[in-house]
Amino acid sequence: MKSKVVLAYSGGLDTSFCIPYLSREKNMEVHTLLVNTGGFSPEEIRELSQKAWDLGAVSHKTIDIRQEYYARCIRYMIFGNILKNNTYPLSVSSERAFQAMTVARYAREIGADAIAHGSTGAGNDQVRFDYFIHVMAPEMNLMTPVRELKISRNEEIEYLNKLGFDFRWEKSKYSINQGIWGTSIGGAQTLSSLGELPEEAFPVKCTRTGTEILVIGFSKGEPVSLNGTAMEPLEIIDELHKMAAPYGIGRDIHVGDTIVGLKGRVGFEAAAPLILIKAHHLLEKHVLGKWQLYWKDQLSVWYGMMLHEAQYLDPVMRDIEIFMENTQKRVSGKISVRLLPRTFSLMGCTSPFDMMNAGFGEYGESTSAFTGTDVEGFTRILSLPVKIYQSLNHE
């Protein structure tokens, strides 16, 4: 009997090459799995499924994990206001964890002997897929044809063409990965330290002018309504993308450290994540205490870093999630957002837990909570430790 291999399949050139290669050169049963974390239309999913069959897959399956991805990851990235290096909403790096875990589970379910993925030897994704397979399916043989062969894109195309598979592989100027939490974009401009991506690089073109105002409702840290209409969080993310991306909102270039030790640049388009994170953060500033905000910032940086570097399954991640979830009990209210070409602004918020309460005073104006005499005594005590230190300074 042939060995059975589950291929993490996206329908791109690399994973398409893997199907006939594993089937013909390695004499294996290839079972393709497309894990949908967003970014695919129903028609695209049908086309990719047919392509897998045409290339020689013994079976093909698509598993939609968007709800799981939101519940187990996106909501915590919102709770933590997570932007890698204060810029990037972890659009691709977060979804890879859930794609890899789903592939490992499916391989075990169908009794596979091996798991394959199409990552090259250059970037982060190879580490992410390898890591989760080693943790979740250590008994499986791990196969990485593109990485092992060190094969070029042109060589992959030639191989497929010789076998009669002509899908008109056009070498795009840009490498694009679309998902529900944003789109990453790589191109010649991101390969060096200087350069910006042109308009043609972005999947959603900047066509809207003028301005509009929208209102996002949050309940316990999660988005629950848009412009007064109750929606599921995934619906809100989708609608925000449709409304804001045509303004050119959410575009930037992230510079960071890769898992394999290199510095890298990648462009992205993530209108919905950036608006939600900034709106959520503003609401937190109004309803959380000073030290809650401080410690959330510290733990959120660690959570984002661990998630980016494939450490989602480390138990400390569940501990941080418990902390973040506990901080969201009062993060409820509505945020008004103004959309403009290339940018957006937060107009303010309303919340039953707003601690900017005029009943205790107005900043810079007056207060009924304390007197000037109270402040005089307070500052004497507050300054005492440094006053003593300075008195002993003989330099």
Q: Which fold has domain 175-288+331-350?
A: Argininosuccinate synthetase, chain A, domain 2 (3.90.1260)
Interstrand relation of 212-219 and 333-340 (parallel, antiparallel or unpaired): antiparallel
Same fold, 3-171 and 175-288+331-350: no
Predicted confidence (pLDDT) at residue 367 exceeds the cutoff of 80: no
With left for phi above 0 and alpha for psi between -120 and 50, is residue 63 left, alpha or beta?
A: beta
Q: What is the pTM of this model?
A: 0.91
pLDDT at 205: 95
> Each residue of 345-354: pLDDT tens digit?
999 999 999 9
> Each residue of 264-305: pLDDT tens digit?
899 999 999 999 999 999 999 999 999 999 999 999 999 999
pLDDT average, residue stretch 39-46? 92
Banded model confidence at residue 39, pLDDT cuts 50, 70, 90? confident
> Each residue of 96-114: pLDDT tens digit?
999 999 999 999 999 999 9
Which residues, other chains included, contact 365 with Cβ-Cβ below 8 Å and sequence gap of 6+? Answer: none
Name the more confident of 32 and 177: 32
Predicted confidence (pLDDT) at residue 394 exceeds the cutoff of 90: no
**Class of 3-171 in CATH:** alpha beta
Banded model confidence at residue 200, pLDDT cuts 50, 70, 90? very high
Q: Where are the domains of the chain?
A: 3-171, 175-288+331-350, 358-386
| Helix (H) or strand (E) run with residue 349 in it | strand 343-350
Long-range contact set of residues 103-107: C-beta below 8 Å, sequence gap at least 24: 103/6, 103/8, 103/33, 103/35, 103/129, 103/132, 103/133, 104/132, 104/133, 104/136, 104/137, 104/140, 105/136, 106/6, 106/33, 106/61, 106/63, 107/6, 107/137, 107/140
Amino acid at 158: E
pLDDT average, residue stretch 321-327? 98
pLDDT average, residue stretch 164-173? 74
pLDDT at 67: 97
Distance CA 16, CA 75 (A): 33
